[in-house]
Chain A
Protein backbone atom coordinates (compact mmCIF):
# COMPACT_ATOMS: atom_id res chain seq x y z
CA UNK A 1 0.00 0.00 0.00
CA UNK A 2 1.93 2.99 -1.23
CA UNK A 3 -0.64 5.52 0.06
CA UNK A 4 -0.27 4.31 3.60
CA UNK A 5 3.50 4.15 3.31
CA UNK A 6 3.72 7.67 1.88
CA UNK A 7 1.37 9.04 4.57
CA UNK A 8 3.59 7.54 7.27
CA UNK A 9 6.81 8.74 5.67
CA UNK A 10 5.34 12.26 5.44
CA UNK A 11 4.37 12.12 9.10
CA UNK A 12 7.81 10.81 10.04
CA UNK A 13 9.78 13.27 7.89
CA UNK A 14 8.02 16.09 9.75
CA UNK A 15 8.93 14.96 13.27
CA UNK A 16 12.11 17.12 13.32
CA UNK A 17 9.89 20.23 13.09
CA UNK A 18 8.19 19.42 16.39
CA UNK A 19 10.86 20.81 18.77
CA UNK A 20 10.35 24.21 17.14
CA UNK A 21 6.72 23.86 16.14
CA UNK A 22 5.22 22.69 19.44
CA UNK A 23 6.83 25.54 21.46
CA UNK A 24 5.62 28.00 18.79
CA UNK A 25 2.07 26.76 19.33
CA UNK A 26 2.69 26.87 23.06
CA UNK A 27 3.76 30.53 22.92
CA UNK A 28 0.76 31.43 20.74
CA UNK A 29 -1.60 29.73 23.20
CA UNK A 30 -0.05 31.29 26.29
CA UNK A 31 0.00 34.76 24.70
CA UNK A 32 -3.65 34.48 23.64
CA UNK A 33 -5.01 33.60 27.08
CA UNK A 34 -2.88 36.33 28.63
CA UNK A 35 -4.49 38.79 26.19
CA UNK A 36 -7.97 37.75 27.33
CA UNK A 37 -8.91 34.99 24.89
CA UNK A 38 -10.99 32.17 26.32
CA UNK A 39 -9.38 28.71 26.24
CA UNK A 40 -11.56 27.69 23.31
CA UNK A 41 -10.84 30.92 21.40
CA UNK A 42 -7.09 30.48 21.88
CA UNK A 43 -7.09 26.92 20.52
CA UNK A 44 -9.50 27.87 17.71
CA UNK A 45 -7.14 30.68 16.73
CA UNK A 46 -4.31 28.19 16.12
CA UNK A 47 -6.58 25.61 14.52
CA UNK A 48 -8.20 28.07 12.09
CA UNK A 49 -5.47 30.62 11.33
CA UNK A 50 -2.58 28.14 11.68
CA UNK A 51 0.08 30.82 11.35
CA UNK A 52 2.06 31.57 14.50
CA UNK A 53 3.69 34.84 13.47
CA UNK A 54 0.38 36.33 12.35
CA UNK A 55 -1.35 35.18 15.54
CA UNK A 56 1.31 36.76 17.71
CA UNK A 57 1.10 39.98 15.68
CA UNK A 58 -2.69 40.04 16.06
CA UNK A 59 -2.53 39.40 19.82
CA UNK A 60 0.04 42.15 20.18
CA UNK A 61 -2.18 44.67 18.38
CA UNK A 62 -5.30 43.65 20.30
CA UNK A 63 -3.37 44.16 23.52
CA UNK A 64 -2.45 47.69 22.48
CA UNK A 65 -6.09 48.46 21.64
CA UNK A 66 -5.86 48.68 17.84
CA UNK A 67 -9.09 48.72 15.82
CA UNK A 68 -10.27 45.26 14.73
CA UNK A 69 -9.85 46.06 11.04
CA UNK A 70 -6.15 46.80 11.59
CA UNK A 71 -5.72 43.64 13.66
CA UNK A 72 -7.24 41.43 10.97
CA UNK A 73 -5.42 43.20 8.12
CA UNK A 74 -2.10 42.83 9.89
CA UNK A 75 -2.65 39.12 10.50
CA UNK A 76 -3.40 38.65 6.82
CA UNK A 77 -0.44 40.75 5.65
CA UNK A 78 1.96 38.72 7.81
CA UNK A 79 0.60 35.65 6.03
CA UNK A 80 0.94 37.10 2.52
CA UNK A 81 3.88 34.80 1.86
CA UNK A 82 1.40 31.91 1.72
CA UNK A 83 0.29 33.24 -1.68
CA UNK A 84 3.77 32.47 -2.95
CA UNK A 85 3.66 28.99 -1.45
CA UNK A 86 0.20 28.50 -2.93
CA UNK A 87 1.57 29.33 -6.37
CA UNK A 88 4.64 27.15 -5.91
CA UNK A 89 2.76 24.10 -4.69
CA UNK A 90 -0.23 24.46 -7.05
CA UNK A 91 1.35 22.35 -9.85
CA UNK A 92 1.75 19.45 -7.41
CA UNK A 93 -1.82 19.79 -6.10
CA UNK A 94 -3.29 19.85 -9.60
CA UNK A 95 -3.73 16.07 -9.68
CA UNK A 96 -5.92 16.09 -6.53
CA UNK A 97 -9.72 16.08 -6.76
CA UNK A 98 -10.99 19.60 -6.20
CA UNK A 99 -12.41 19.02 -2.72
CA UNK A 100 -9.04 17.59 -1.64
CA UNK A 101 -7.31 20.65 -3.12
CA UNK A 102 -9.54 22.90 -1.01
CA UNK A 103 -8.87 20.84 2.11
CA UNK A 104 -5.12 20.47 1.55
CA UNK A 105 -4.70 24.25 1.09
CA UNK A 106 -5.64 25.02 4.71
CA UNK A 107 -2.36 23.45 5.87
CA UNK A 108 0.05 25.46 3.72
CA UNK A 109 2.72 26.95 6.01
CA UNK A 110 6.50 27.39 5.71
CA UNK A 111 7.39 23.95 7.02
CA UNK A 112 4.69 21.83 5.36
CA UNK A 113 5.45 23.55 2.06
CA UNK A 114 9.23 23.14 2.30
CA UNK A 115 9.14 19.49 3.40
CA UNK A 116 6.56 18.42 0.82
CA UNK A 117 8.16 20.19 -2.15
CA UNK A 118 11.55 18.75 -1.24
CA UNK A 119 10.06 15.25 -1.31
CA UNK A 120 8.07 15.85 -4.52
CA UNK A 121 11.27 16.98 -6.24
CA UNK A 122 13.28 14.07 -4.84
CA UNK A 123 10.86 11.30 -5.78
CA UNK A 124 8.20 11.85 -8.47
CA UNK A 125 6.64 8.45 -7.59
CA UNK A 126 5.49 9.63 -4.14
CA UNK A 127 1.73 9.68 -3.62
CA UNK A 128 1.49 13.43 -3.21
CA UNK A 129 -1.82 13.65 -1.36
CA UNK A 130 -0.94 10.88 1.10
CA UNK A 131 2.47 12.41 1.75
CA UNK A 132 0.98 15.89 2.21
CA UNK A 133 -1.63 14.62 4.67
CA UNK A 134 1.12 12.85 6.64
CA UNK A 135 3.25 15.99 6.82
CA UNK A 136 0.24 18.08 7.88
CA UNK A 137 -0.93 15.53 10.47
CA UNK A 138 2.34 15.84 12.37
CA UNK A 139 2.81 19.59 12.02
CA UNK A 140 -0.82 20.68 12.48
CA UNK A 141 -1.52 18.39 15.42
CA UNK A 142 1.82 19.30 17.03
CA UNK A 143 1.01 22.98 16.69
CA UNK A 144 -2.59 22.78 17.92
CA UNK A 145 -1.70 20.48 20.83
CA UNK A 146 1.21 22.81 21.67
CA UNK A 147 -1.31 25.67 21.76
CA UNK A 148 -3.57 23.69 24.08
CA UNK A 149 -0.62 23.11 26.41
CA UNK A 150 0.19 26.83 26.30
CA UNK A 151 -3.42 27.66 27.19
CA UNK A 152 -3.26 25.35 30.20
CA UNK A 153 0.12 26.55 31.45
CA UNK A 154 -0.53 30.19 30.58
CA UNK A 155 1.77 32.65 32.31
CA UNK A 156 4.09 30.08 33.86
CA UNK A 157 6.59 29.94 30.93
CA UNK A 158 10.05 31.11 32.00
CA UNK A 159 11.41 33.72 29.57
CA UNK A 160 14.95 32.45 30.23
CA UNK A 161 14.33 29.43 28.00
CA UNK A 162 14.21 31.74 24.94
CA UNK A 163 12.08 29.18 23.12
CA UNK A 164 11.12 31.81 20.53
CA UNK A 165 14.61 31.35 19.06
CA UNK A 166 13.69 27.84 17.92
CA UNK A 167 11.50 29.44 15.22
CA UNK A 168 14.28 31.19 13.22
CA UNK A 169 16.48 28.12 13.75
CA UNK A 170 13.85 25.99 12.08
CA UNK A 171 13.60 28.41 9.16
CA UNK A 172 17.40 28.35 8.94
CA UNK A 173 17.40 24.55 8.71
CA UNK A 174 15.04 24.86 5.73
CA UNK A 175 16.87 27.83 4.19
CA UNK A 176 20.36 26.33 3.94
CA UNK A 177 19.44 23.35 1.71
CA UNK A 178 17.22 25.60 -0.45
CA UNK A 179 20.38 27.45 -1.59
CA UNK A 180 21.66 25.18 -4.35
CA UNK A 181 23.36 27.54 -6.82
CA UNK A 182 24.34 31.13 -7.45
CA UNK A 183 20.84 32.31 -8.36
CA UNK A 184 19.17 30.84 -5.25
CA UNK A 185 22.04 32.30 -3.19
CA UNK A 186 21.35 35.74 -4.63
CA UNK A 187 17.63 35.35 -3.92
CA UNK A 188 18.43 34.53 -0.28
CA UNK A 189 20.99 37.33 0.12
CA UNK A 190 18.67 39.99 -1.30
CA UNK A 191 15.67 38.67 0.65
CA UNK A 192 17.61 38.65 3.91
CA UNK A 193 19.25 42.05 3.59
CA UNK A 194 16.13 43.85 2.39
CA UNK A 195 14.17 42.34 5.29
CA UNK A 196 16.72 43.76 7.72
CA UNK A 197 16.71 47.16 6.02
CA UNK A 198 12.89 47.24 5.88
CA UNK A 199 12.32 45.97 9.42
CA UNK A 200 11.02 49.38 10.48
CA UNK A 201 8.12 49.32 8.02
CA UNK A 202 4.73 48.89 9.66
CA UNK A 203 2.71 45.67 9.72
CA UNK A 204 5.60 43.36 8.85
CA UNK A 205 5.19 44.43 5.24
CA UNK A 206 9.00 44.46 5.00
CA UNK A 207 9.08 40.65 4.86
CA UNK A 208 6.79 40.65 1.85
CA UNK A 209 8.76 43.37 0.04
CA UNK A 210 12.04 41.59 0.84
CA UNK A 211 10.77 38.27 -0.45
CA UNK A 212 9.48 39.76 -3.70
CA UNK A 213 12.78 41.58 -4.33
CA UNK A 214 14.73 38.41 -3.48
CA UNK A 215 12.68 36.34 -5.92
CA UNK A 216 13.09 38.99 -8.63
CA UNK A 217 16.86 39.17 -8.06
CA UNK A 218 17.14 35.38 -8.21
CA UNK A 219 15.12 35.20 -11.41
CA UNK A 220 17.23 37.96 -13.02
CA UNK A 221 20.46 36.21 -12.02
CA UNK A 222 19.04 33.00 -13.45
CA UNK A 223 18.25 34.64 -16.79
CA UNK A 224 21.74 36.20 -16.89
CA UNK A 225 23.35 32.82 -16.20
CA UNK A 226 21.39 31.03 -18.90
CA UNK A 227 22.02 33.84 -21.37
CA UNK A 228 25.78 33.91 -20.79
Chain B
Protein backbone atom coordinates (compact mmCIF):
# COMPACT_ATOMS: atom_id res chain seq x y z
CA UNK B 1 0.00 0.00 0.00
CA UNK B 2 2.84 2.33 0.96
CA UNK B 3 4.63 1.49 -2.27
CA UNK B 4 1.52 2.12 -4.37
CA UNK B 5 1.25 5.52 -2.70
CA UNK B 6 4.83 6.36 -3.69
CA UNK B 7 4.33 5.18 -7.27
CA UNK B 8 1.05 7.05 -7.77
CA UNK B 9 2.15 10.27 -6.06
CA UNK B 10 5.47 10.40 -7.92
CA UNK B 11 3.70 9.62 -11.20
CA UNK B 12 1.12 12.35 -10.62
CA UNK B 13 3.81 14.89 -9.69
CA UNK B 14 5.91 13.98 -12.71
CA UNK B 15 2.92 14.18 -15.03
CA UNK B 16 2.14 17.67 -13.69
CA UNK B 17 5.69 18.72 -14.65
CA UNK B 18 5.33 17.27 -18.13
CA UNK B 19 1.95 18.73 -18.89
CA UNK B 20 2.63 22.14 -17.29
CA UNK B 21 3.73 24.26 -20.23
CA UNK B 22 1.99 22.15 -22.82
CA UNK B 23 -1.39 23.19 -21.41
CA UNK B 24 -0.28 26.72 -20.54
CA UNK B 25 0.98 27.42 -24.03
CA UNK B 26 -2.22 26.00 -25.47
CA UNK B 27 -4.04 28.96 -23.96
CA UNK B 28 -1.80 31.75 -25.18
CA UNK B 29 -1.67 32.54 -28.86
CA UNK B 30 1.99 33.17 -29.28
CA UNK B 31 5.17 32.10 -27.57
CA UNK B 32 7.44 35.13 -27.20
CA UNK B 33 10.43 34.75 -29.50
CA UNK B 34 12.86 35.49 -26.68
CA UNK B 35 11.45 32.54 -24.73
CA UNK B 36 11.79 30.35 -27.81
CA UNK B 37 15.42 31.38 -28.20
CA UNK B 38 16.16 30.63 -24.54
CA UNK B 39 14.53 27.20 -24.85
CA UNK B 40 17.01 26.27 -27.57
CA UNK B 41 19.58 26.11 -24.78
CA UNK B 42 17.64 23.54 -22.76
CA UNK B 43 19.00 20.40 -24.49
CA UNK B 44 22.73 21.28 -24.39
CA UNK B 45 22.58 22.57 -20.80
CA UNK B 46 20.50 19.71 -19.37
CA UNK B 47 22.25 16.94 -21.27
CA UNK B 48 25.71 18.22 -20.30
CA UNK B 49 24.55 18.44 -16.67
CA UNK B 50 23.44 14.80 -16.84
CA UNK B 51 26.55 13.51 -18.62
CA UNK B 52 29.58 15.29 -17.17
CA UNK B 53 29.16 14.19 -13.52
CA UNK B 54 28.82 10.56 -14.72
CA UNK B 55 32.18 10.84 -16.47
CA UNK B 56 34.35 12.81 -14.06
CA UNK B 57 33.00 11.88 -10.63
CA UNK B 58 34.20 8.63 -9.18
CA UNK B 59 32.94 7.56 -5.79
CA UNK B 60 32.90 10.74 -3.71
CA UNK B 61 35.52 12.71 -5.63
CA UNK B 62 36.62 14.22 -8.88
CA UNK B 63 38.72 11.99 -11.12
CA UNK B 64 40.09 13.69 -14.22
CA UNK B 65 42.86 11.43 -15.51
CA UNK B 66 43.52 8.72 -18.07
CA UNK B 67 43.09 6.12 -15.34
CA UNK B 68 39.36 6.99 -15.17
CA UNK B 69 37.95 4.41 -17.60
CA UNK B 70 34.54 6.07 -17.83
CA UNK B 71 36.03 9.44 -18.72
CA UNK B 72 38.23 7.95 -21.45
CA UNK B 73 35.39 5.81 -22.83
CA UNK B 74 33.14 8.88 -22.74
CA UNK B 75 35.68 10.94 -24.71
CA UNK B 76 35.95 8.18 -27.31
CA UNK B 77 32.15 8.04 -27.52
CA UNK B 78 31.96 11.84 -27.85
CA UNK B 79 34.33 11.61 -30.82
CA UNK B 80 32.08 8.99 -32.43
CA UNK B 81 28.99 11.10 -31.74
CA UNK B 82 30.65 14.11 -33.33
CA UNK B 83 31.81 12.19 -36.44
CA UNK B 84 28.72 10.06 -37.05
CA UNK B 85 25.81 11.68 -35.12
CA UNK B 86 24.67 8.06 -34.73
CA UNK B 87 23.24 7.08 -31.33
CA UNK B 88 23.69 3.36 -31.69
CA UNK B 89 27.33 3.70 -32.84
CA UNK B 90 28.02 6.06 -29.93
CA UNK B 91 26.61 3.68 -27.32
CA UNK B 92 28.21 0.58 -28.81
CA UNK B 93 31.68 2.12 -29.20
CA UNK B 94 31.49 3.72 -25.74
CA UNK B 95 30.52 0.43 -24.05
CA UNK B 96 33.18 -1.40 -26.07
CA UNK B 97 35.82 1.14 -25.02
CA UNK B 98 34.81 0.71 -21.37
CA UNK B 99 35.11 -3.09 -21.59
CA UNK B 100 38.50 -2.88 -23.31
CA UNK B 101 39.79 -0.36 -20.74
CA UNK B 102 38.58 -2.46 -17.83
CA UNK B 103 40.73 -5.33 -19.14
CA UNK B 104 43.82 -3.10 -19.07
CA UNK B 105 45.29 -3.28 -15.56
A153 at the interface (CB under 8 A from B): no
Q: Mark A63-100, 1 if CB is under 8 A from B, else 0.
A: 00000100110011001111111111111011000100
Q: When chains A and B are docked, how far (Å) is the Cα of A88 from the Cα of B35?
A: 9
Give Cα A213–Cα B48 distance, bound, in whole angstroms: 12
Residues of B close to A166: CB separation below 8 A: 91, 94-95
1/0 contact string of A173-184 vs chain B (CB within 8 Å): 111111100011
Smallest CB gap from B73: residue in A:
A165
- Name the segment of A3-11, A105-113, A123-131, A142-150 touching the other chain: A105-113
A219 near B: Cβ within 8 Å? Answer: yes
Determine how close the nearest CB of chain A comes to the CB of B101; give it in whole angstroms: 11
A135 interface contact, C-beta 8 A: no
Q: What residue in chain A is nearest B102 (Cβ atoms)?
A: A162
Q: Is A157 at the interface (CB under 8 A from chain B)?
A: no
Q: How far is the CB of A121 from chain B (nearest CB, A)?
A: 10
Cβ of B100 < 8 Å from any Cβ of A? no
Q: A105-B15, A188-B44 given as contacts; is B74 within 8 A of A168 (CB)?
A: yes
Number of residues on chain B facing chain A (CB within 8 A): 67
Tell me the minimal C-beta distance from B6 to chain A in angstroms.
Answer: 5
Say how far B33's CB is from chain A's closest CB, in angstroms.
11
- List chain B residues, Cβ under 8 A from A45: 7
Are the CB atoms of B77 and A172 closer together than 8 Å? yes
Which residues from chain A contact B86 at a C-beta distance below 8 Å?
16, 173
Q: Are B43 and A68 in contact (CB under 8 A)?
A: no
Distance in Å: Cβ of B104 to nearest Cβ of chain A? 15
The chain A residues found within 8 Å of chain B, CB to CB, are 15-17, 19-20, 36-38, 41, 44-45, 48-51, 54, 58, 62, 68, 71-72, 75-76, 79-91, 93-94, 98, 101-102, 104-106, 108, 110, 113-114, 117, 162, 165-179, 183-185, 187-196, 199, 206-207, 210-215, 217-219, 222
B residues adjacent to A (C-beta < 8 A): 2-11, 13-15, 17-26, 31, 35-57, 62, 70, 73-74, 77-78, 81-82, 85-88, 90-92, 94-95, 98-99, 102
16 inter-chain pairs at a CB distance below 8 angstroms, sorted by A residue, are: A71-B6, A72-B9, A79-B14, A83-B21, A85-B42, A91-B36, A98-B26, A102-B19, A110-B50, A162-B98, A165-B73, A165-B98, A170-B90, A175-B48, A177-B81, A184-B40
